[in-house]
């Protein structure tokens, strides 16, 4: 059953988790894109209530997130963690607002659409008060896969990720800064928010381990890809690694097709698809890197080449700022879909 409450032309927007890394980015992007909100409410835990956040045209005073927070809200952007989303989902829906949730708590729930606006915008209108934002690593990969899959059916995807500290939140970013300073000052490194030290290290472990030895992050990439592309036949195996980069996730992606696909066709499809930029000139040492993509909105592709080990296969490198397209930007693009035409 679809949500039937009409969306006003100037909705009231709440940002739950407004003081976190993604919440801060959501506020920034709402301003950058001139989202037509009549009012914006910054919500966070009681610990953050009363803080002042800068916002174009004035300041926002952070309010405590409670079940009464949504009485006058039309769109609630959530980035406060899965437990918080589950705790407040019923209150949001009961108030007649639409929750756009950035956590993993509801992504695979029946009746909750999982939306990338460039890929499956129509799914956003099949909600019953809750729309899920996909995993950051899934978003950038599926944005690249979608135009290819529409031309030639994808049989199998093997992806290895190189995920920035910001994917684990503001505390993990601060930990990378502090551990780097400690390392350079020859001090003992303080490990608090990640499983191991992140400075000058890589950690092949993101989210919890599952019974088959994979992590939940790797599982998310597989099941979410199938849900977004509406194709259970696609085989996906992911290997997710945390690297000492502040922001922007990188992925090396190998795609095997069940019918003809070549590099030139892939390039033409990507160049015509919204949200994708190509940086691919090996002779000039040009390819996407986190340092050049942080703070930008596109999904960048490079190192594009044929996989010679299969009949129809392509390898490519994919980089995107996961705080923006991988999280905050995608959520706000979903909100834009809901605005009256």
Q: Where are the domains of the chain?
A: 12-134+327-338, 138-322
Give me the catalytic one of 127, 136, 149, 240: 136
Give me the catalytic one of 127, 149, 240, 249: 249
3-state secondary structure of 8: coil
Task: Provide the token pair at 338.
Answer: 């809901």
The CA dihedral of 305, 309, 313, 318, to the nearest 10 degrees, is -50
Gap between the terminal Cα atoms of the chain: 21
Instruction: Count the neighbouring beta carbons within 10 Å of the beta carbon of residue 72.
Output: 13
What pLDDT score was predicted for residue 2? Answer: 47
Task: Provide the token pair at 68.
Answer: 């009464």
- Please name every residue paired with 313 in a beta bridge, in sequence order, or none if there are none: 256
Q: What is the pTM of this model?
A: 0.95
Question: Can you tell me the distance from the alpha carbon of 2 to that of 30, in angstroms, rounded to the nearest whole number?
Answer: 25
Question: Can you tell me the distance from the alpha carbon of 274 to that of 238, in angstroms, rounded to the nearest whole number?
Answer: 25
3-state secondary structure of 84: helix
Contact present, 229 and 115 (Cβ < 8 Å): no
Domains 12-134+327-338 and 138-322 share a fold: no
CATH topology of domain 12-134+327-338: Rossmann fold (3.40.50)
3-state secondary structure of 158: strand
pLDDT tens digits along 176-212: 999 999 999 999 999 999 999 999 999 999 999 999 9
Encode the chain (341 residues) as per-residue pLDDT tens digits: 445 578 999 999 999 999 999 999 999 999 999 999 999 999 999 999 999 998 877 799 999 999 999 999 999 999 999 999 999 999 999 999 999 999 999 999 999 999 999 999 999 999 999 999 999 999 999 999 999 999 999 999 999 999 999 999 889 999 999 999 999 999 999 999 999 999 999 999 999 999 999 999 999 999 999 999 999 999 999 999 999 999 999 999 999 999 999 999 999 999 999 999 999 999 999 999 999 999 999 999 999 999 999 999 999 999 999 999 999 999 999 999 999 98
Question: Can you tell me the distance from the alpha carbon of 237 to that of 229, in angstroms, rounded to the nearest whole number?
Answer: 16
What pLDDT score was predicted for residue 4? Answer: 59
What pLDDT score was predicted for residue 299? Answer: 98
Decide if 136 is catalytic.
yes
Question: Can you tell me the distance from the alpha carbon of 74 to that of 233, in angstroms, rounded to the nearest whole number?
Answer: 37
3-state secondary structure of 37: coil
User: H or E segment at 337?
Assistant: helix 329-338
Question: Can you tell me the distance from the alpha carbon of 154 to that of 222, in angstroms, rounded to the nearest whole number?
Answer: 13
Decide if 127 is catalytic.
no
User: What angle (nearest 5°) sits at the alpha carbon of residue 255, between those of residues 251 and 259?
Assistant: 160
What pLDDT score was predicted for residue 1? Answer: 40
Among 70, 62, 7, which Cα is nearest to 35's?
Answer: 7
**How is domain 138-322 classified at the architecture level of CATH?**
2-Layer Sandwich (3.30)
Contact present, 155 and 235 (Cβ < 8 Å): yes
């Amino acid at each position: 059953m679809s949500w039937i409450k009409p969306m006003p032309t100037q909705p009231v927007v709440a940002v739950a988790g407004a003081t976190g890394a993604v919440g801060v980015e959501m506020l920034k992007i709402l301003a950058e894109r001139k989202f037509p909100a009549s009012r914006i409410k910054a919500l966070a835990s009681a610990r953050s209530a009363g803080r002042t956040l800068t916002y174009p045209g004035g300041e926002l005073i952070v309010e405590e997130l409670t079940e009464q927070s949504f009485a006058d809200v039309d769109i609630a952007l959530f980035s406060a963690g899965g437990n918080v989303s589950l705790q407040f989902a019923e209150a949001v829906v009961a108030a007649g607002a639409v929750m756009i949730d950035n956590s993993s708590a509801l992504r695979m729930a029946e009746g909750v659409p999982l939306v990338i606006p460039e890929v499956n915008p129509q799914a956003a209108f099949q909600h019953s008060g809750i729309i899920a934002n996909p995993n950051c690593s899934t978003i950038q990969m599926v944005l690249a896969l979608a135009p290819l899959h529409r031309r030639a059916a994808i049989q199998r995807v093997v992806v290895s990720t190189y995920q920035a500290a910001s994917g684990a939140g503001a505390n993990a970013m601060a930990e990378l800064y502090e551990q780097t300073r400690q390392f350079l000052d020859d001090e003992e490194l303080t490990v608090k928010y990640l499983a191991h030290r992140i400075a000058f290290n890589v950690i092949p472990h993101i989210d919890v381990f599952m019974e088959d030895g994979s992590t939940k992050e790797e599982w998310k990439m597989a099941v979410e890809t199938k849900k977004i592309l509406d194709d259970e036949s696609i085989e996906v195996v992911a290997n997710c690694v945390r690297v000492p980069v502040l922001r922007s996730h990188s992925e090396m992606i190998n795609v095997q097709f069940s019918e003809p696909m070549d590099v030139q066709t892939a390039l033409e499809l990507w160049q015509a698809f919204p949200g994708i930029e190509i940086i691919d000139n090996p002779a000039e040492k040009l390819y996407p890197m986190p340092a050049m993509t942080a703070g930008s909105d596109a999904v960048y592709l490079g190192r594009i080449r044929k996989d010679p080990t299969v009949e129809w296969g392509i390898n490519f490198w994919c980089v995107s700022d996961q705080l923006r397209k991988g999280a905050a930007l995608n959520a706000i693009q979903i909100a834009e879909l809901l605005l009256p035409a």
